[in-house]
Amino acid sequence: MWERLLSEEEKMIRDSVRAVVKKQIAPLAQQLDEEESFPWEQLKALSDLGMLSILTPEEYGGAGGTQMSYVVAVEEIAKGCAATALVFFTQMHGALGLLLAGTEQQKKKYLPKLASGEMLGSIAITEPNAGSDAAGMSTAAVRDGNQYILNGNKVFITTGDKADIVTVFAKTDFGLRHKGISAFLVEKGTPGFKVGKVEKKMGVRGSSTAELIFDNCRVPDENLLGSEGEGFQICMEACDYTRISTAAQALGISQGAFDIAFQYAQERSQFGKPIYDFQAIQFMLADMFTEIANARLLLYRTAKLIDEGVKDFTMEASMAKAYCSEAAGRVTDAAVQILGGYGYIRDYQVERMMRDAKITQIYDGTNQIQRMVIARNLQKRLK
């Protein structure tokens, strides 16, 4: 039913990604999780396919693809390996600040390298005492001649320990709260910029999550994104896009878990017949498939709005993120239940998917925050 929403080019991209995932990504997902290693090989396979450039404009070495082609790609990757999908879309997020507010000079310097995979990118917002309350961040940026001096800590930064360029949000004026936030491009190797603790996690263990420390880190003023005080606006606009990434990841996890459970139900026999023949199992699978269909339609509709040029899609992005991630929790839980004891065993993968699904309800704004965003936008739209 959702095939009609995809163009022929988008179907081709989906099929190409699906083939690479089947051959080079999904077979390594379990090992990646067990070893908590980084998906370098998988990222290279996606780069060779041209996926790292999918959203970058053609004038900066990218493919200039649609938002729909992007979410389809994330979904397919996450179906095979949620951790690889996270690393993949974090690369996209690393370019978001440049795409939203970068100067021509900044775009020419960094976007081609991000699109080719020559550089890895990341985005640093969260702090030990500023998660959902991004405006409460305490990392400081003080101007000193033609430089800014950054001091503070960021936590839970995906690919933070591997990134070559990080978009960092910091306060240039503490008296203005959110209006005093600015955004900076900080390169790996900059004196005063170092990686702290790399976290041990419940899920998406094939991606890295690190603390970033700024200790009198000097950044040239040419690396300021936009103007001073525009950082919060850049951050909020970027979050609309990152939430779509998370929704697509959650959808892929759901589909992957459903596929395993559906096949298992037809192959596993109890009381002399496949367990799929029992109505209890049929109802569970029917509910899972319905949730996935609803999630996909909501996500695809949001991607379509962006491709149609709609500027205000904040509410749709929050709805997609909240619904897709919570559906992933329910679907993976049901998949483990259908597989029974085998579902609890690592060899059967659904337990990994269940662990991976949980983070989609937390990062890029908890689902409680998404409900606040949705409610606030309802007041605007339903006046």
My answer on whether 132 and 100 are in the same domain is no
State the pLDDT at residue 131.
Answer: 86
Element (H or E) spanning 6, and its range? none
My answer on whether 355 and 237 are in the same domain is yes
CATH number for the domain harbouring residue 90:
1.10.540.10
* Complete DSSP assignment for 12-75: HHHHHHHHHIIIIIGGGHHHHHHHT---HHHHHHHHHTTGGGTTS-GGGTS----HHHHHHHHH
My answer on whether 365 and 281 are in the same domain is yes
My answer on whether 182 and 287 are in the same domain is no
User: Residues of the chain with pLDDT > 90: what percent?
Assistant: 95
My answer on whether 259 and 313 are in the same domain is yes
User: Residues of the chain with pLDDT > 70: what percent?
Assistant: 99
Q: How many residues does the chain have?
A: 383
CATH number for the domain harbouring residue 129:
2.40.110.10
Residue type, 273: K
Domain boundary pick from 116, 134, 156: 116
Helix axes 82-101, 350-359, angle to 10 degrees: 30
CB 364 within 8 A of CB 243: yes
Q: How far apart are CA 354 and CA 359, in angstroms?
A: 10
pLDDT band at 286 (very low <50, low <70, confident <90, very high): very high
My answer on whether 181 and 318 are in the same domain is no
Per-residue pLDDT, averaged over 161-176, amounts to 97
Q: How far apart are CA 346 and CA 221, in angstroms?
A: 49
My answer on whether 198 and 306 are in the same domain is no
State the pLDDT at residue 143.
Answer: 97
* pLDDT digits 0-9 by tens, 311-331: 999 999 999 999 999 999 999
Q: How many CB atoms lie within 10 A of CB 277?
A: 14
pLDDT band at 123 (very low <50, low <70, confident <90, very high): very high
State the pLDDT at residue 1.
Answer: 64
Q: How far apart are CA 137 and CA 168, in angstroms?
A: 11
Domain boundary pick from 116, 131, 154: 116
Nearest C-alpha neighbor of 188 from the set 167, 209, 173? 167
Q: How far apart are CA 355 and CA 360, in angstroms?
A: 10
State the pLDDT at residue 134.
Answer: 87
Nearest C-alpha neighbor of 356 from the set 95, 161, 77, 111? 77
* pLDDT digits 0-9 by tens, 342-374: 999 999 999 999 999 999 999 999 999 999 999
State the pLDDT at residue 382.
Answer: 85
Per-residue pLDDT, averaged over 188-213, amounts to 97
My answer on whether 261 and 360 are in the same domain is yes
The mean pLDDT of the chain is 96
Q: Which domain range does residue 354 map to? A: 232-381
Domain boundary pick from 194, 214, 229: 229
Per-residue pLDDT, averaged over 28-33, amounts to 96
In this prediction the pTM is 0.96
What's the distance, CA 2 to chain centroid?
Answer: 22
Q: How many CB atoms lie within 10 A of CB 280?
A: 8
* pLDDT digits 0-9 by tens, 212-248: 999 999 999 999 999 999 999 999 999 999 999 999 9
State the pLDDT at residue 3.
Answer: 76
My answer on whether 50 and 138 are in the same domain is no
My answer on whether 104 and 139 are in the same domain is no
My answer on whether 94 and 138 are in the same domain is no
My answer on whether 181 and 102 are in the same domain is no
With 90 as the cut, is the pLDDT of residue 307 above it?
yes
Q: How far apart are CA 319 and CA 299, in angstroms?
A: 9
Number of separate domains in the chain: 3
Q: How many CB atoms lie within 10 A of CB 372?
A: 14
